[in-house]
Each structure stands twice: as structure tokens, then as C-alpha cells.
Amino acid sequence: MTEPLLRVENLQTHFASELGTIKAVDGVSFDIPRGGILGMVGESGSGKSVTGLSILRLLGSRNATIAGGRILFRGEDLLTKSEAEMRAIRGGSISMVFQNAMTSLDPFFRVGEQLVEVLRLHQGLSKKEAREKALNALELVRIPDPVAKLKSHPHQLSGGQRQRVVVALALACEPDLLIADEPTTALDATVQKQIIELLQEINQELGTAILMVTHDMGVVAHMCRTVAVMYAGRIVEHGDVADVLRTPQHPYTRGLMASVPRLRTEAAGEGHVRQRLYQIGGSAPLPLRLTDGCAFAPRCPEVGPECWEVDPPTVASGAGQEAVCHRRAEEKAELTGVAQHVGA
């Protein structure tokens, strides 16, 4: 089999606090092939963004520690790299699109100056060569009148244009992997659609692999090929997008799917059917207070006695789809027993 572009193995990212160790990422593993798109979905606080930041070692806190695991990029462990080596990788081979464009762009410098700086730093280009490539980057992300935009400050652009500039900055050095952390947050629906389609085009035209961090199942369905569902710092379900969305195995994934708003067209007398939006009961646990057993047990409609005491097993179903759940393990055991009985 071809070696994946990125392989994360048993990643553990911890934060020290006065109350104890917060396990923000607790044993996460996944692969992204060359040119692939993996969606990482879950509620706020599930560990999605910390996973993306851990890959680039951009945690930005003295209290943060990558306590274990490996991050293999093109076969080399990024956790063994020096800070100087990581600076060359960041923005070069691996780039990141952050969720707030205004905090990603320096308000005191023109768009062109920021693009040129990135290109000269990572590719050693002359000022003229870097400006030409900066213009090409803005054209790539479909910004209207790119020559004028090079001379503009970030505050002179619309929200959608600023986000396109952030994407252009990330793509300027033609990275192999793009980590997109909630890239459509705070944008209106039309601009969100444009940004998602832009990322898809970049993936198809340039072959750039993408780790798409999001809380939006619609984004996952629209652009991702595989999906990892995170809860309380762990991946609870992973598999092909079509399989996971069609037949979700973990109760948390089922809750996320049921929470997606849907248009109802059934008529009821003179009006229309109204249905309250489903919500998962309770709230996500603090990573500080996790105990033995399944972290989702306090909110799970299928919870059993063992869910509170024993870590759930990983259960495979279908072509590569996996869920970490006691209930699915019991169902699989029952089906296996029935099959053996029938075969006998």
C-alpha cells in the first residue's frame, strides 16, 4: 500500500492547569493520503482544533505538551524536528487556514506585502518574483481585480475577500497539506459555499491534501471523502463519508446527524408540519474530569452498566468504518453468533 502523506498515531496533547492535567487530545490516530480530504467534526471543545495545531506544533502555550504519539509527514516524524526545521515546514510543505481572517492578517501591512514576505521567506525569491507569484496566488483564489487587492489593507476588503486572501497565503508556497480550521466561520451562507467550492477546486487542480476541521456536517458531506468524529479528545467514529452519514454507528454521530436542520414539506391541514430541532442532552465533559468508561455515557440514549466502567472497544463495520462503542460490539457479537449457528 502507498504510504499516506500524513499519519497521526496515538497523538496525546495535554495542558497543565491548577486543577490537573487536561487531556485535550487523547490517543488520536488517522491517515490522510496524498490528495485526500479528511473531515474532522465534533462539538466545540472536542479537540479538533488542538489536533490541527499539534500537527504544526503551534499550540502557543507553555502549559501545552505533546505527551505521546507520532506525527508522520511524508514518513518523517514532525515531533523529532527542531524548531528551525518546523519553521521551514510551516507555510511551506504544510499550511493552515485559521477561522478568523482578521486575526490571521496583519492590519498594518498591505495584502501584497504579506504575500511577498511569505514567498521570500520560504522560497528565497526576489521581490519582483515574489510579487508576480503573489498575484498568481490571488488569481488562483478568484479574487476580483487582484492587482488592486495587492495594494489594499485587510480592512478594505469584505469578509469573503479576506478569507480568500488567507487561503492565498496558505497556498502561495504550494503546500502538500492544508489544514483548514473552521474556514467558513462568521461568513454568510453564500460566501461559505464559495469558500468550500474554492477549497475543492484547489484540491482537484493542485492535488493539495486537506484536513478540514469543522462542526458542520453539511460541509463534511459536501467536500470530504473520509470523516473522523471527535468527542472529548478521542475519535469515536471514522470511515468513508457516505457510509458514516448513511449508517452512523456511534450514538454521538447519530445525535449529530439528527441535529442537522431539515426542511419539511409535508402539509398538515392549512399549515405545515413543525418539528423541534433535535439536541443531544447534557453537555460535553471537561477533559479534566474524564474517568474510566465511555466519555459519552452521561449523554447516551443507549448507555449500559459497562459503559460507565470499561473503555469501549473499536468495532469495524462495512468497508473501513469503525466506531468505539459497547453497543455496536454487542450487536456484532450477536450477528456473528447467529451466522455461526446458521452455518452449523
Digit-coded pLDDT (tens) for 31-72: 999 999 999 999 988 999 999 999 999 998 889 999 999 999
SS3 at position 130: helix
Does residue 341 or residue 277 have the better pLDDT? 277
Contact 202, 208 (CB under 8 A): yes
287: nearest Cα among 104, 64, 103, 77: 64
CB neighbours of 251 closer than 8 A, spacing ≥ 6? Answer: 296, 300, 301, 302, 325, 327
Task: Please list the alpha-helical segments (H only) found in 58-158.
Answer: 83-89, 101-104, 111-123, 127-140, 146-150
Residue 111 is placed in which grid cell?
Answer: 495584502
Task: Report the chain's mean pLDDT, rounded to a whole number.
Answer: 88
Digit-coded pLDDT (tens) for 84-99: 999 989 988 999 998 7
Domain ranges of the chain: 6-224
User: What's the topology of domain 6-224?
Assistant: Rossmann fold (3.40.50)
pLDDT reading at 173 higher than 90:
no
Burial annotation 200-228 (CB, 10 A radius, 16+ → b, else e): eebbeeeebbbbbbbbbbebbbebbbbbb
Q: Check the CA dihedral 255-260-262-268 and report its sign.
A: positive
Q: What is the chain's alpha carbon radius of gyration, rounded to the nearest angstrom?
A: 22
pTM of the model as a whole: 0.90
Digit-coded pLDDT (tens) for 137-170: 999 898 999 999 999 999 999 988 998 999 999 9
pLDDT reading at 259 higher than 70:
yes
Q: What is the DSSP letter of 46?
A: S
pLDDT reading at 13 higher than 60:
yes
